[in-house]
Amino acid sequence: MSYETISVEPLSPVIGAEISGVDLSRPLGNQMFAEIHDALMQHQVIFFRDQEMDWDQHKAFGRLFGELHIHPTAPAPEGHPEILTVHADETSERVAGQGWHSDVSCDAEPPLGSILHIQQAPDVGGDTMFASAYAAYDALSEPMKAFLGTLKAKHEGRHRYLGRNKRTGKMRDGEDVYPEALHPVIRTHPVTGRKALFVNSVFTTRIEGLSDTESRALLDFLCEHINTPEFRCHFKWRKNSVAFWDNRCVQHHAVWDYYPQVRHGYRVTVQGDRPF
Ligand code: SIN
């Protein structure tokens, strides 16, 4: 693929690329937007450095890709329900994004993508790992691909969100049940047409139609499979770095190796479609 308005530097042959020549705080021309979209489709997660954005600019960039998603439980800054705060310091008992996952896959229409802007990074550590769910699918044997292609899995939010986020009131839009959904184990990306593994260790609780033992064994295998080093890249954050990942074909895992240092930023999440 050739790019005229941006520079694209892959982080690995499989997943991830750093983009330069863009100021995300300003309106993008049609050509630049199309090239950023192409780079996301090709590399699955893209990174930008030295971006100063306020919440409105961050949301405006996200809205170029679709409506914004509102998290089911995380508290948002007053007047900005689409902003998710990502923060860790010496008082944290856990941090956002631990464990391999695709964001909020327990929603019936899980997010298309997530755009994280880190404004304060630890001196060392705090990387995020990203794994290609295309590569995970492609590496499976043909009989396993065929078998998984017939299956659906349950994704649930309750065990992840209960007791988190100091939630005291109702959830998003007055919902009073934690989200859960049934999704295909292998999904087809609506833009690229490529197939991707779509179960993860954080939200997927059961594979439908199998016995408990079979379901657990298969989920354990698939959740370990995504952890294969060859499927992934690691991103080192600096102040004002931005990562934009496509949740339809990427899983990520935020590494919390920097306690008690501070890591702080904001995420805007783009609404997706029902997986097929
Ligand atoms: C997240 O899952 O959005 C958090 C990722 C990170 O903090 O690197």
The rounded distance, in Å, linking the Cα atoms of 31 and 20 is 15
Q: Residue 219 and residue 207: Cα distance in Å, rounded? A: 8
Kindly report, residue by residue over 100-134, the tens digit of the pLDDT: 999 999 999 999 999 999 999 999 999 999 999 99
Asked whether 114 lines ligand 1 (CB < 6 A), one says yes
Quick one: how far is CA 16 from the chain centroid?
Answer: 13
Distance 213 CA to ligand 1 centre (A): 31
Q: Which one of 252, 253, 255, 269 would you pick to mutate in the ligand 1 pocket, going by the greatest count of ligand atoms within 8 A of its CB?
A: 252
Amino acid at 205: T
Cβ–ligand 1 contact at 15 (below 6 Å) = no
Instruction: State yes or no: is 103 an active-site residue.
Output: yes
| Residue from 86, 105, 245 to probe ligand 1 pocket by mutation (most atoms less than 8 Å from CB) | 86
Ligand 1: distance of its center to the CA of 141 in Å? 31
Residue 222 to residue 232: CA distance in whole angstroms: 15
Please give the number of the atom of ligand 1 that sits closest to the Cα of 263: 7
Q: Whole-model pTM?
A: 0.95
CB 97 near ligand 1, within 6 Å: yes
Among 216, 111, 220, residue whose Cα is nearest residue 157: 111
User: Which domains does the chain possess?
Assistant: 70-270 (3.60.130.10)
Token couple for 143: 């009989």
Backbone torsions φ then ψ of 115, nearest 5 degrees: -125, 110
What's the pLDDT score for residue 163?
65
pLDDT of 73: 86
101 flagged as catalytic: yes
Q: Token pair of 247, please?
A: 């949740």
Q: Based on the number of CB atoms within 10 Å of its own CB, is 40 exposed (0-12), middle (13-18) or buried (19 or more)?
A: buried
pLDDT confidence of residue 126: 97
Give every residue of the chain whose pLDDT is below 70, as ranges. Answer: 163-170, 173-174
The atom of ligand 1 lying closest to the CA of 103 is 2
Written as six digits, the tokens of 180 are: 């859960």
